[in-house]
Amino acid sequence: MDILSAIKNRRSCRKYMPEPVNDSDLDAILAAGAAAPSPANSQPWEFIVITGKDAKIKIHDEALRCRNFLFEKSGWKWLTKYDLEFVKDVPAIIAVTGDPKKTGADMFMDGGNNAWRDACSASVQNMMLAAAALGLGSLWFTMFDRNNLRSLLNIDNEKIPTALVFIGRSSADLVITPRKDIKEITRYIK
Ligand SMILES: Cc1cc2nc3c(=O)[nH]c(=O)nc-3n(C[C@H](O)[C@H](O)[C@H](O)COP(=O)(O)O)c2cc1C
């Protein structure tokens, strides 16, 4: 699949078939993550591939705790409708952690030292597009407290978990979410 079709076809997937993701697909997705741009090529990311049921249940429980906490803080009703059962059965989860020491020139700029996180995000997006190109669904998932996730996944204190990337074959049609008109969000300087 060409890159523009992968971008168009990728949509957040929240229902997965139980079949595992095969190793060659997982390897291709990880390689796509590692191919992302980063400040001064610092490659601030590390990946943890999670396929075991126990870890998925712990991630589910943390997400539920987080959802309830966010609802208490915000009162946002949609949070109560956000079903997290699927988290226990996602075929593969890739945790992306970043190293804030691995930064670039941005450390000298106003409000600097964020580029490591931007790079981790580029890596997440690359993985999701690779998954789409392989006909797999994916989800960028952030319902966790970073310290809790760190102890759940045995991540050392120097590293910051930035995202969980869920991957697997979708068991439902992906929902096409609307986008703003390009004209509304773009201006040109000629
Ligand atoms: C930084 C970031 C965090 C996100 N966290 C979550 C999350 O915790 N749970 C979830 O279901 N979706 C999460 N999403 C997915 C968005 O809800 C989704 O991308 C958005 O609604 C647009 O839908 P689409 O991905 O299908 O185009 C996240 C996306 C981003 C970029």
Reported as a single tens digit per residue, the pLDDT across 10-59 is 999 999 999 999 999 999 999 999 999 999 999 999 999 999 999 999 99
- DSSP assignment, residue 91? S
Q: What would the pLDDT profile of 110-133 be if each residue is shown by its tens digit?
A: 777 889 999 999 999 999 999 999
Structure pTM?
0.96
Instruction: Give the count of beta carbons closer than 10 Å to the beta carbon of residue 146.
Output: 13
* Alpha-carbon gap, residue 184 to 190, rounded angstroms: 18
Q: How far is the CA of 142 from the centre of ligand 1 (A)?
A: 8
Q: Provide DSSP, 57-75.
A: HHHHHHHHHHHHHHHHHH-
Cα radius of gyration rounded to whole Å, the chain:
17
Residue 147, both tokens: 């310290």
Q: Is the pLDDT of residue 183 over 80?
A: yes
In order of start, what are the domains of the chain with their CATH numbers? Answer: 3-185 (3.40.109.10)
* Alpha-carbon gap, residue 76 to 59, rounded angstroms: 22
pLDDT for the residue numbered 154: 97
CA nearest ligand 1 atom 12, residue: 141
**Angle, CA 124 vertex, CA 159 and CA 88 arms, to 5°:** 85
Q: Is the pLDDT of residue 148 over 90?
A: yes
Instruction: State mean pLDDT over 93-99.
Output: 98
Q: How far is the CA of 189 from the centre of ligand 1 (A)?
A: 31
Please tell me if the CB atom of residue 81 comes closer than 6 angstroms to any atom of ligand 1.
no
Q: How far is the CA of 181 from the centre of ligand 1 (A)?
A: 19
Please tell me if the CB atom of residue 140 comes closer than 6 angstroms to any atom of ligand 1.
yes
pLDDT for the residue numbered 104: 80
* Alpha-carbon gap, residue 177 to 156, rounded angstroms: 36
Q: Is the pLDDT of residue 107 over 90?
A: no
User: Which atom of ligand 1 lies closest to the CA of 63?
Assistant: 8
Burial class from Cβ neighbours inside 10 Å (0-12, 13-18, 19+) for residue 140 reads: middle
User: Which atom of ligand 1 lies closest to the CA of 176?
Assistant: 26
What is the pLDDT of the chain when averaged over all its residues? 95
Please tell me if the CB atom of residue 67 comes closer than 6 angstroms to any atom of ligand 1.
no
